[in-house]
Every structure is written in structure tokens, then in C-alpha cells.
Amino acid sequence: DAKTTQPNSMESNEEEPVHLPCNHSTISGTDYIHWYRQLPSQGPEYVIHGLTSNVNNRMASLAIAEDRKSSTLILHRATLRDAAVYYCILRDDGGATNKLIFGTGTLLAVQP
């Protein structure tokens, strides 16, 4: 599985945008970029995923670099509830396996 690199931690202020980076220089052409987050004392939850084009949903936006070697998860207005560990994961969604391999993620702290 291709590896991702994320900062260990980041801080943000409430109601400000947050840009969470992820580097994946060894991404293959069939790897999708998935983002999950884990709130304190809860199981991980899906945030967003994409292949090549930028993606938007009600939770966040995903900006994917043109060469696909990096991506950025964008929370447009951080709230205290967004404090969590954010995981960037690559998966070959067209392949034989649908498992996710979690790394260490980025711990996002949101200050009021």
C-alpha cells in the first residue's frame, strides 16, 4: 500500500478555515485518496474521498494536486466539534481488496 505523510498535529481557531495537508508521492494511478476522522472516544468516520478532481461535500472539500502527489482536506469553518485525528489513506478502490490501512494521522486542535 502506498504511504501517506501527514503532520502530527495542527491548531486552528474556531470559525476559521483549516487546511490539512497530506503527501503521497508514491501514489499509483488507481489509488483513491480517502479521508477519515476520529473524534475523541469514538470510532473513525468517513469524511471525503477523491481520485483526480477536487471534491466537495457537506463536511469538507478535498483539493488534489495536479500530479496527485499531495492533497489537502479543507474544513471551511472549523468548529469545536471538528477537533479530531484526521487520517489520509490511499486505497486502490478498483483492486481486489477494500481494506483501509490507517497511519498516524493529524491531530487537529480547535481553539475557541
Partner 1 sequence: DAGVIQSPRHEVTEMGQEVTLRCKPISGHNSLFWYRQTMMRGLELLIYFNNNVPIDDSGMPEDRFSAKMPNASFSTLKIQPSEPRDSAVYFCASSFRGRAVSDTQYFGPGTRLTVL
104 binds partner 1 (CB under 8 A): yes
Three-state SS at 82: helix
- In the set 8, 29, 40, 42, which binds partner 1 (CB under 8 A)? 42
49 binds partner 1 (CB under 8 A): yes
Q: Which is nearer to partner 1, 1 or 14 (CB)?
A: 1
Q: What does the alpha-carbon distance between residue 8 and residue 43 come to, in Å, rounded to a whole number?
A: 19
25 binds partner 1 (CB under 8 A): no
81 binds partner 1 (CB under 8 A): no
Q: Give the list of residues 6+ apart from residue 110 with CB closer than 8 angstroms, or none.
A: 11, 12, 13, 14, 18, 78, 79, 80, 82, 83
Q: Which is nearer to partner 1, 53 or 98 (CB)?
A: 98
- Residue 55 phi, psi (nearest 5): -130, 145
39 binds partner 1 (CB under 8 A): no
Q: Which is nearer to partner 1, 14 or 32 (CB)?
A: 32
Q: Are 33 and 50 in contact (CB under 8 A)?
A: yes
Applying CB under 8 A, the residues found at the interface with partner 1 are 32, 34, 36, 38, 42-46, 49, 87, 91, 93-94, 97-104
